[in-house]
Amino acid sequence: MQSSIDYVDRSYCLTANKDYRLSIQVSLNGFSFCIYNPDKHKHVVLKNFPYSENVADINLWLKEINRIAESMTADIAAIKTSVKCLFISRKNVLIPKNIFSANSIGSYISFFFQLDEFDEIHYQYIPEIEGYCCFALPSPIVSKIISRFGKSDFYSQSYQIIRRTKNYGTGMSIVFCDNFMDISIFKNNKLVLNNFFEIFDIKDIIYFVSSISDKFAVKDIPIYMSGNISNSEIKKLKKFFPSIVQEQNREISLLLGSEVSTKYYNLLSLQECE
């Protein structure tokens, strides 16, 4: 179970700043949110709420989000800007702009993944690759987020990792999620890979990164890691891949530690995806 986090910066004051930006992250293992102050360019709130029980079905998941949302009321009541919601999902596909059709997004996803009864398809345009990231989310969870937090824009971890990796020009980015890792590789500013791989231990990570590096001839490029990975695991991986860079939010890293900063880096950086 994820540990709870309750960080509030002393400068945080909803009555003084109505332009705060709320970002939330939803997964099967927990619910997190952060509040960003665009005037000071800093995060003033970071909280993580572990679920009190395993979300074995959609009803339990909704119950847990309801419980957590109730406890967030005081933190978000005055925020009027749109919410950005990062949803951890394996069901992602990239579709080039020149063949994309909003009427066909269901078929794009279902060609690669088995869609569940409640799955709802969303998409976001990625200008860096002139393509669309299409992803499936449970519609009851989407409806609950909107009813609780108002107008919300939804993103998958794939959308964000691609936009960030493009900024590196050449590099491999890995986001570690629950039992899988999402990998994006850019070489000379061109996307050469975006995919996810199931992992169960550090041996799986070493195997997949080694195989991908050989296949795409990117052995010596920087490898940017974030998400659910510990400092000790990164230290072990650096013995095999010296070019690893641990992605962190500098301020949160100083305040709460590098492990927390790395774990929630994708949530913390969500507001940078404009």
Task: From 48, 52, 39, select the one nearest 12 (Cα to Cα).
Answer: 39
DSSP string, 180-230: EEEEEEEETTEEEEEEEEE-SSHHHHHHHHHHHHHHTT-TTS-EEEEES--
Residue identified by tokens 């998958």 is: 156
Closest-CA residue to 65 (of 155, 137, 159): 137
Topology adopted by domain 5-89+130-272:
Nucleotidyltransferase; domain 5 (3.30.420)
pLDDT single digits (tens) 164-211 = 888 888 999 999 998 899 999 999 889 999 999 999 999 999 999 999
Classify residue 176 by burial, with Cβ atoms within 10 Å: 0-12, 13-18, 19+. buried
Is residue 149 within 8 A of residue 81, CB to CB? The reply is no
Residue ranges per domain, the chain? 5-89+130-272
Q: What is the mean pLDDT of residues 70-86?
A: 75
Q: Residue 19 class from Cβ within 10 Å (0-12 exposed, 13-18 middle, 19+ buried)?
A: exposed
* CA 203 vs CA 31, 70, 174, 181, 210: distances in Å: 28, 41, 15, 13, 11
pLDDT tens-place string over residues 236-262? 999 999 999 999 999 899 999 999 999
For the question of whether the overall pTM of this predicted structure is more than 0.75, the answer is: yes
In which band, very low, low, confident or very high, does the pLDDT at 98 lie, cut at 50, 70 and 90? very high
pLDDT band, very low/low/confident/very high, at 73 (cuts 50, 70, 90): low
